């Protein structure tokens, strides 16, 4: 705890919230960071090591490896920590949402014949038996709503093709099961994607994580400076998970004289899969030059206000914004009253 826990704490104090970090994995013991041997730790040491991540990475999303060992079920891993979990009977623990990482995704029991050699009798797999059970039993079935789910391939795509002779139906099933568990990212190691599976992978990538489509955007034909630009919009997240970074929805007004970037207050991390209503307003500065502007939208970084997310629509400008139409800024006729 002194050395490893101290290192984790120091890293968190230095890098928590860094814009280049997508997430941090909670790794405490065992080969490959997979948690094997966790049951050998004392409860005090196990909880202290986990809490060193939870206490020091408060902004950057966290995820951890659900133990696939019968010796140490996932529910025991979070015991005594601040990790949030909630069970169907209404009981809950913790307040900090943490996602999870699945290694060996794709050890598919095709016809209940387990590929590879794990020393078993071929009648179980991580993907179909261990992970779904542990997610529910640990009380973390809904943690994907607040923290990311990431996966690592079992073997490689080329191994699936050349050694196991899997067809597209088997691969599509593996991908669909990942979407069902709300996967946001996938590590395929250093193996290429077989050409015949490229369409499947591309389709899967379009379902993975968040994918925002704007269906409707209504705004006035003009606004007054020192006034409000109110808009109503209908969106859809056609992916399988929310966004986990605190990016902002922003409006840009642009003409030859002036460019204004006006962030809205909506929390995009609450945009779960499905339809989304976003009715917001932004304020027009009092010194905005009068005239007509192009009105554009983007999802931007909170500090630099640079576009960070591609929307699943047409109309993207060269610098990453999306053109909506035209709006006029007029004088505020109430300014002298």
Q: Is the pLDDT of residue 137 over 90?
A: no
* Bridge partners, 263 (sequence order): 250
The residue ranking higher by pLDDT, 267 or 72, is 267
Band of pLDDT at residue 163, cut at 50, 70 and 90 = confident
Q: Give the pLDDT of residue 282.
A: 96
- Give the mean model confidence (pLDDT) for residues 103-124: 61
Band of pLDDT at residue 112, cut at 50, 70 and 90 = very low
Q: In three state form, how does the secondary structure of the chain look?
A: CCCHHHHHHHHHHHHCCCCCCCCEEECCCCHHHCCCCHHHCCHHHHHHHHHHHHHHCCCCCEEECCCCCCCCCHHHHCCCCCECEECCCCCEECCECCEEEEEEECCCCECCECCCCCCCCCCCCHHHHHHHHHHHHCCCCCHHHCCCEEEEECCCHHHHHHCCCCCHHHHHHHHHHHHHCCCCEEECCCCCCCHHHHHHHHHHHHHCCCCEEEEEEECCCEEECCCEEEEEEEEEECCCCCCCCCCEEEEEEECCCCEEEEECCCCHHHCCCEEEEEEEEEECCCCCCCEEEEEEEEEECCCCCCEEECCCCCCECCCCCEEEEEEEEECCCCCCC
Share of the chain above pLDDT 90, in %: 64
Q: Which of 63-67, 271-275, 325-329 has the lowest mean pLDDT?
A: 63-67
Arch. (CATH architecture) of 212-330: Sandwich (2.60)
Axis crossing angle, helix 4-15 with helix 43-56, rounded to the nearest 10: 10
Tell me the two tokens of residue 297. Answer: 């939208």
Q: Give the pLDDT of residue 199.
A: 96
Handedness of CA 16, 21, 25, 29 (dihedral sign): negative
291-310 pLDDT, tens digit per residue, is: 999 999 999 998 899 999 99
d(CA 124, CA 92): 30
Q: Is the pLDDT of residue 311 over 90?
A: yes
Please give the C-alpha separations between residue 175 and each of 65, 66, 157, 202, in angstroms, as whole numbers.
19, 19, 12, 11
Q: Is 73 exposed, middle or buried (0-12, 13-18, 19+ CB in 10 A)?
A: middle
- Give the mean model confidence (pLDDT) for residues 136-153: 91
Q: Which residue has the tokens 């391939």?
A: 153
Q: Is the pLDDT of residue 336 over 70?
A: no
Residues of the chain with CATH 2.60.40.770: 212-330
Is residue 295 a contact partner of residue 261, using CB atoms and an 8 Å limit? no
CA atoms within 13 A of residue 215's CA, in its CB half-sphere: 11
Is residue 67 a contact partner of residue 136, using CB atoms and an 8 Å limit? no
* Closest among 282, 336, 275, 279 to 305, alpha carbons compared: 282
CA atoms within 13 A of residue 89's CA, in its CB half-sphere: 4
Band of pLDDT at residue 73, cut at 50, 70 and 90 = low
Q: Is the pLDDT of residue 116 over 60?
A: no
234-267 pLDDT, tens digit per residue, is: 999 999 999 999 999 999 999 999 999 999 999 9
Average pLDDT, the chain: 88
Q: Give the pLDDT of residue 122.
A: 58
Q: Give the pLDDT of residue 29.
A: 79
Handedness of CA 185, 46, 127, 132 (dihedral sign): negative
Global confidence as pTM: 0.88
Q: Which of 17-26, 29-38, 205-214, 234-243 has the lowest mean pLDDT?
A: 29-38
Please give the C-alpha separations between residue 22 and each of 129, 185, 245, in angstroms, as whole numbers.
29, 10, 8
166-215 pLDDT, tens digit per residue, is: 899 999 999 999 999 999 999 999 889 999 999 999 999 999 999 999 99
């Amino acid at each position: 705890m002194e050395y490893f826990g101290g290192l984790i704490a120091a890293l968190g104090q230095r890098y928590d919230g860094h814009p280049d970090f997508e997430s941090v994995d909670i790794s405490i013991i065992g080969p490959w960071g997979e948690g094997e041997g966790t049951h050998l730790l004392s409860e005090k040491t196990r909880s202290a090591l986990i809490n060193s991540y939870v206490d020091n990475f408060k902004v950057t999303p966290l995820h951890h490896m659900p133990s696939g060992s019968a010796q140490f079920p996932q529910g025991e891993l979070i015991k005594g920590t601040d990790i949030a979990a909630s069970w169907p009977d209404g009981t809950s623990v913790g307040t900090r949402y943490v996602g999870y990482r699945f290694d060996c995704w794709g050890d598919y029991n095709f016809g209940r014949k387990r590929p590879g050699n794990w020393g078993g009798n071929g009648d179980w797999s991580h993907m179909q038996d261990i992970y779904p059970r542990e997610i529910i039993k640990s009380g973390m079935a809904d943690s994907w709503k607040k923290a990311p789910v990431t996966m690592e391939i079992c073997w490689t795509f080329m191994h699936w093709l050349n050694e196991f002779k899997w067809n597209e139906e088997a691969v599509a099933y593996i991908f669909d099961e990942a979407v069902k568990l709300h996967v946001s990212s996938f590590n395929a190691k250093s193996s290429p994607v077989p050409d015949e599976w490229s369409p499947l992978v591309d389709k899967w990538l379009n379902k993975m994580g968040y994918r925002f489509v704007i269906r409707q955007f209504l705004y006035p034909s003009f606004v007054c400076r020192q006034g409000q630009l109110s808009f109503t919009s209908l969106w859809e997240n056609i992916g399988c998970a929310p966004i986990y970074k605190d990016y902002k929805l922003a409006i840009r007004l642009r003409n030859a004289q002036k460019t204004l970037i006006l962030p809205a207050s909506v929390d995009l991390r609450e945009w779960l899969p499905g339809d989304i209503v976003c009715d917001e307003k932004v304020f027009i500065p009092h010194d905005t030059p009068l005239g007509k502007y192009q009105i554009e939208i983007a999802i931007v970084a909170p500090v630099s206000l640079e576009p960070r997310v591609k929307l699943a629509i047409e109309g993207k400008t060269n610098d990453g914004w999306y053109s909506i139409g035209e709006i006029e800024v007029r004088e505020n006729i109430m300014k002298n009253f």
